[in-house]
Amino acid sequence: MRHLLRMAAHSARTNMHARNLAIVWAPNLLRSRDIEASGFNGTAAFMEVRVQSIVVEFILTHVEQLFGDAPLRGAGTAR
């Protein structure tokens, strides 16, 4: 999420602000097995993706409150 937040910081040049990033990344970050299993399409799939993007946008706009400012675990260490 912090990486996406860093990307959003460049939105003046890229037009990829939190909402656009959420729309693009939400289906991957919050994959719904219900949609995949039932073969949702059309309106049902659109509504599910809409909810996912709202959740991801909320997370992106509240990263510090949700995750604090501590470094990510494993950051800066070679594995």
**Residue-wise pLDDT tens digits, 4-36:** 989 999 999 999 999 999 999 998 888 777 666
pLDDT in tens, 48-59: 788 899 999 999
Residue for token pair 């659109």: 46
Neighbours of 53 (CB within 10 A): 21
Closest residue by Cα to residue 4 from 23, 74, 33: 23
pTM over 0.85: no
b/e burial code for range 1-37 (CB count within 10 A of at least 16 → b): beebbebbeeeeeeebbbbbbbbebbbeebebeebee
